Amino acid sequence: MPTPVAKNGENIPTTLASPGALRFWLAVCLIGTTTGLAAAALTRLLEVVQHIAWHGSGTNILAAAKQASMPRHLGVLLAAAILTGAGQLLLKQLSSGNGIDTTSAIWFYAGRMPALRTLGSAVLSIFAVGMGASMGREGAPKQAGAVFANLFADVGKLSDEQRRLLVACGAGAGMGAAYGVPLGGALFALEVMRGKLALRFVLPALVTSLIATGVSWMALPNAPTYIIPSFPLSTSVIVWSIVTAPIFAFGSILYVWLVRWADRGKPLGWQRFIAPVIILGLLGFASTRFPELLGNGKDLSQLLFANQVGIGLILALLLLKPLATILCMRSGVPGGLFTPSLTFGALLGAGLGQAWSTLWPGVPPGLFALLGACAVLSATTQGPISAVVLVMELTGRDRSFVLPLILIAALSTLISRSVEKRSIYDARLSDDQIALRQQMREQESNDIGILQSTTP
């Protein structure tokens, strides 16, 4: 007889004729639709906030910040700090209990999370990023997708196992809709958020992300996030990928450790108001000299992929841009870590590529930045498959550079995982929670074996 836990695994309908399939798949469709609408609305809100703050157009904060005066830099960032601090204190008063991040909710609370506080934090992060905080904008649609998944799991009276999967799918759908990457969003949901690429999980993740991305395209442009040329394959870039993979791995480990440090030291009480004022005020001052420090790093990555950043600026930003993100997080500014991690990898890749080109010239510099972005993204999320697919979808390019892309993602992840088991998304978990999660994963694998052995 199957164990009780194994029975939970069967709660994920594998066919339309499975018990409860109608309620489950209706929830999948509703989660995808509402997440897509939320991602579109949050993106438009970001553009409005950015336009008002910086008098720029679209989502290119860098171009607008370069034309802004020092008083505007300081004024906008201090306003963002006041808004962040006041918003955090208000959310604490309105919502009872502590906030639960999506990873913790999926693994230890069966996907349950406080809706009001999570959505409030998502909207607050949009204002902060739009005004220049060095955080990612994808955190907001991810949170919105997770909240909607939790809501429809409640309405449909779905099981805990179904809720855990759907919350991961909602978060991945938010990622897919925000960046127009349906396949990458689905793989992100499974590999990074749910931590398991199981066959019974694949279809719900794909359908949720597909619907969310399709809905968001009705309001957002259906175009690649990064415009890059077609990079040729060469022996030089293959060798470079092998040689530099350990550097990206240990750089990623350091980045995860810094994220953990920042998360564990977030301010409490009235420090929630004071800390953002200090950190964002410093960021506003530094951004007058380095406007690339503002925002999630998307515009900077685009310049790196197009080889439009000098080596001196690359070296400076290699230190300053990750520092800005970590200090923003430490001060309690809400936001995502996906694009900041990608940008850190692009900076590191561009720097290492410049050095390599003096020894073995011939590789387009932008390719080094792109491979570095994938390497760090893969190692910091512990998701090499989703990282490779996300980079391919974000650039919308052909498969000319897919071999070194997979190679450097696999090697950097293998090395980093051997030293640090945490990703940037579970950095806040304690050692006991990491051990418990590993036990849960192993138990799930054993349960699948039990189900297969008892199936005629």
Please tell me the distance from the alpha carbon of residue 106 to that of residue 444, in angstroms, as a whole number: 14
Residue 173 has pLDDT above 80, yes or no: yes
Supply the DSSP string of 219-258, one letter for each residue.
Answer: TS--S-SS----PPP-HHHHHHHHHHHHHHHHHHHHHHHH
Helix (H, G, I), strand (E, B) or coil at 45: helix
pLDDT at 2: 31
Mean pLDDT, residues 220-235: 90
**Of the candidates 259, 364, 347, 334, the residue with the CA atom closest to the CA atom of residue 300:** 347
Percent of the chain exceeding pLDDT 90 equals: 72
CATH of the domain spanning 4-216: 1.10.3080.10
Whether 235-428 and 4-216 are alike in CATH topology: the answer is yes
pLDDT at 327: 97
**Of the candidates 353, 355, 356, the residue with the CA atom closest to the CA atom of residue 305:** 353
Local confidence band at 275 (pLDDT 50, 70, 90 cut-offs): very high
Yes or no: say if 100 and 114 are a contact pair by the CB < 8 Å rule: yes
> What are the tens digits of pLDDT across the range 366-376?
999 999 999 99
Evaluate whether the domain defined by 235-428 bears CATH number 3.40.50.300: no
**Of the candidates 227, 266, 205, 145, the residue with the CA atom closest to the CA atom of residue 397:** 227
> What are the tens digits of pLDDT across the range 8-43?
445 888 788 888 899 999 999 999 999 999 999 999
Angle at which helices 199-216 and 160-179 pack, to 10 degrees?
40
What pTM was computed for the model? 0.92
Mean pLDDT, residues 88-107: 76
pLDDT at 31: 97
Residue extents of the structural domains in the chain: 4-216, 235-428
> What are the tens digits of pLDDT across the range 408-435?
999 999 999 999 989 999 888 877 877 7
Please tell me the distance from the alpha carbon of residue 185 to that of residue 75, in angstroms, as a whole number: 36
| Structure tokens, 319 | 């230190």
Please tell me the distance from the alpha carbon of residue 301 to that of residue 62, in angstroms, as a whole number: 11
pLDDT at 155: 94
pLDDT at 421: 86
Residue 241 has pLDDT above 80, yes or no: yes
Residue 3 has pLDDT above 60, yes or no: no
Please tell me the distance from the alpha carbon of residue 297 to that of residue 129, in angstroms, as a whole number: 10
Q: What is the mean pLDDT of the chain?
A: 90
| Structure tokens, 159 | 């099981």
**Of the candidates 412, 320, 329, the residue with the CA atom closest to the CA atom of residue 373:** 412
DSSP classification of residue 426: S
Counts for the chain of helices (H) and strands (E), in that order: 19, 0
- 310 alpha-carbon distance from chain centroid: 27
The C-alpha angle with vertex 280 and arms to 278 and 286, in degrees rounded to 5, equals 105
pLDDT at 434: 79
Q: Report how far apart the first and last C-alpha atoms of the chain are (Å, whole number).
A: 13
Phi-psi region of 58 (alpha: psi -120 to 50; beta: other; left: phi over 0): left
- Name the residue with higher pLDDT: 97 or 298: 298
- Name the residue with higher pLDDT: 179 or 100: 179
| Structure tokens, 74 | 């300081």
> What are the tens digits of pLDDT across the range 304-329?
999 999 999 999 999 999 999 999 99
